[in-house]
């Protein structure tokens, strides 16, 4: 059974669920739901910062602010010192009742405008906007957010860090940089991709006792779960484990195709061949003799290699010269399942086509923009919409790389990768991913399985390799942990 913690929802889905729950008065009222949220948030705060005694709580005018008022009330009743601030002189709906409860308990509510200096506290609690904002905060609040971020004190965000778009994960202006975010009812999909990586911190789910209700709501996307390949039969031999042909490595880019091919081997492909420039043969054979490298000067030399291959890894170091274009076209016309990356994608953008055989496209945002004829900023503005359109337009499984990589199939299913780290923003990481996915395809995974499992293994290997530090992380550092993880070992 799918865990509710793997389900990702849009803002409209969560709002619809909240409304249905509130309309069923026999189940729960809006204020009661708010009280549950506040109780869960305060419990998370005390687990994370058990020594905290002084809190500042920043409340907006909507329901997120109501959650904040009730966190303040609970903290006050627990004997903590509370500095309570509000953006507006009045609150709306159930938040007004929460605000009045604070006043009735003797709490003083100060205007944010009076906070010339931030109070000296142990934890700031962000209850400014939550899911209610999808634009840049106005100047006065933006300044407050920047001051909270610069305070050096930990921050708890209620539901969503204020200023972060809960649907897309983008921050169009100032946004809270939380150390802990407690998401209510279900995880919002924007918490796991794009700019969210710098704003969410640790993310916890508070189901508010509504897990059975939430399970009736089909998620918009899913978080990947850690997985590996099943154990091989003891009588296995190399031809049963697939033959990958890695095609690329124009002048000066032998490293790209070697990384791709070696990753295919380390992910378990039985055989890996390399079609590349003749000048790279000596270096490839010396560095990794297990790779069956052959120099090809054009389509005629490539065709016999295509006949023997099960899966193609096309693009790393391929270039866009006549040599690369001819190999690209010949490879596509072979009808083999393939993974397309780098210049393989740039050539596709120039000559779009839909894929019949299983295909996985692995663009970074710049390549995705070329494939969709838009700007990189538009891709990053809504990574979910972009990856779905890539998969639909090219009838292929699409992997949109970046912080919180997203994978989509042509039917619109999406999975999001919760692993990975900034150290992986270095040369060669994409070549490695291409090889991993191709190796999984060769071993019998379908395109969706190979893409989702491959993205997860690649990111988890990166996290294991980064234990010695993120800066200076090399693509080759991932190969050994990748081998462990594909066999079910490691703990990444």
Is 25's pLDDT higher than 60? Answer: no
Q: Kindly give, in sequence order, each residue whose CB lies less than 8 Å from that of residue 152, ignoring residues fewer than 6 positions away.
A: none
Is 491's pLDDT higher than 70? Answer: no
Q: 449, 457 in Cβ contact below 8 A?
A: no
Question: Among 439, 411, 456, which Cα is nearest to 265's?
Answer: 439
Is 1's pLDDT higher than 60? Answer: no
**pLDDT on residue 285:** 86
Q: Using one digit for the tens of pLDDT, what is the confidence trace for 173-230?
A: 999 999 999 999 999 999 999 999 999 999 999 998 877 777 788 999 999 999 888 7
Q: 344, 328 in Cβ contact below 8 A?
A: yes
Question: Among 375, 249, 261, which Cα is nearest to 324's?
Answer: 249
pLDDT > 90: percent of the chain: 83
Q: Using one digit for the tens of pLDDT, what is the confidence trace for 115-161?
A: 788 999 999 999 999 898 889 999 899 999 999 999 999 999 999 99
Phi, psi at residue 219, to the nearest 5°? -70, 155
Domain ranges of the chain: 4-220, 238-486
Q: Kindly give, in sequence order, each residue whose CB lies less than 8 Å from that of residue 396, ignoring residues fewer than 6 positions away.
A: 340, 354, 355, 359, 360, 361, 390, 410, 447
Note the CATH number of domain 4-220. 3.40.50.10260
Q: 34, 94 in Cβ contact below 8 A?
A: yes
**pLDDT on residue 5:** 87
The band of 396, judged by pLDDT with boundaries at 50, 70 and 90, is very high
Cα 69–chain centre separation: 32
Angle 305-290-441 from CA coordinates, rounded to 5°: 60
Distances (CA, A) of 315 to 236, 306, 456, 488: 30, 15, 21, 29
Phi, psi at residue 430, to the nearest 5°? -65, -35
Q: To the nearest whole number, what is the mean pLDDT of the chain?
A: 94
Q: 442, 311 in Cβ contact below 8 A?
A: yes
**pLDDT on residue 20:** 79
d(CA 45, CA 123): 9
d(CA 276, CA 257): 8
Average pLDDT of the segment spanning 90-98 = 91
Note the CATH number of domain 238-486. 3.40.1190.20
**pLDDT on residue 128:** 97
**pLDDT on residue 114:** 82
Distances (CA, A) of 436 to 253, 269, 389, 466: 19, 9, 24, 19
Average pLDDT of the segment spanning 471-484 = 96
Q: Using one digit for the tens of pLDDT, what is the confidence trace for 56-88?
A: 999 999 999 999 999 999 999 999 999 999 999
Phi, psi at residue 141, to the nearest 5°? -75, -35
């Amino acid at each position: 059974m799918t865990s509710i913690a793997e389900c990702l929802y849009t803002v409209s889905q969560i709002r619809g669920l909240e409304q249905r729950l509130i309309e069923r008065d026999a189940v729960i009222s809006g204020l009661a739901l708010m009280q549950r949220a506040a109780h869960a948030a305060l419990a998370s705060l005390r687990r994370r910062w058990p020594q905290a005694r002084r809190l500042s709580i920043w409340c907006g005018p909507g329901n997120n602010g109501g959650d904040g008022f009730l966190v303040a009330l609970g903290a006050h009743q627990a004997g903590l010192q509370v500095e309570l601030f509000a953006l507006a002189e009045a609150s709306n709906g159930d938040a007004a009742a929460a605000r009045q409860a604070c006043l009735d308990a003797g709490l003083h509510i100060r205007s944010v405008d009076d906070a010339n200096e931030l109070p000296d506290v142990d934890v700031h609690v962000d209850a400014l906007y939550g899911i209610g904002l999808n634009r840049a905060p106005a100047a006065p609040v933006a300044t407050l957010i920047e001051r909270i971020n610069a305070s050096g004190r930990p921050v708890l965000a209620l539901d969503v860090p204020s200023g972060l778009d809960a649907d897309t994960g983008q921050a169009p202006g100032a946004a809270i940089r939380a150390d802990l975010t407690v998401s209510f009812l279900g995880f919002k999909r924007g918490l796991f991709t794009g700019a969210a990586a710098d704003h969410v911190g640790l993310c916890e789910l508070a189901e508010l006792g509504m897990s059975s209700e939430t399970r009736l709501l089909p998620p918009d996307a899913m978080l990947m779960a850690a997985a590996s390949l099943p154990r091989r039969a003891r009588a296995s031999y190399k031809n049963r484990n697939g033959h990958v042909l890695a095609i690329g490595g124009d002048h000066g880019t032998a490293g790209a195709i070697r990384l791709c091919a070696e990753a295919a081997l380390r992910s378990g492909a039985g055989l890996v061949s390399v079609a590349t420039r003749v000048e790279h043969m000596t270096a490839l054979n010396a560095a990794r003799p297990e790779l069956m490298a052959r120099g090809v000067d054009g389509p005629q030399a490539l065709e016999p290699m295509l006949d023997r291959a099960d899966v193609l890894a096309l693009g790393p170091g391929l270039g866009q010269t006549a040599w690369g274009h001819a190999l690209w076209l010949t490879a596509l016309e072979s009808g083999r399942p393939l993974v397309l990356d780098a210049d393989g994608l740039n050539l596709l953008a120039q000559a779009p086509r839909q894929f019949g055989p299983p295909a996985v496209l692995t663009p970074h945002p710049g390549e995705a923009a070329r494939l969709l004829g838009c700007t990189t900023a538009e891709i990053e503005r809504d990574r979910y919409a972009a990856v779905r359109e890539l998969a639909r337009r090219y009838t292929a499984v699409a992997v949109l790389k970046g912080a919180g990589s997203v994978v989509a199939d042509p039917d619109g299913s999406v999975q999001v990768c919760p692993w990975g780290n900034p150290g992986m923003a270095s040369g060669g990481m994409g070549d490695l991913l291409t090889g991993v996915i191709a190796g999984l395809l060769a071993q019998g995974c379908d395109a969706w399985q190979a893409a989702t499992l491959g993205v997860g293994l690649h990111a988890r290997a990166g996290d294991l390799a980064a234990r010695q530090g993120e800066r200076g992380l090399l693509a080759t550092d991932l190969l050994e942990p990748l081998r462990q993880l594909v066999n079910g070992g490691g703990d990444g």
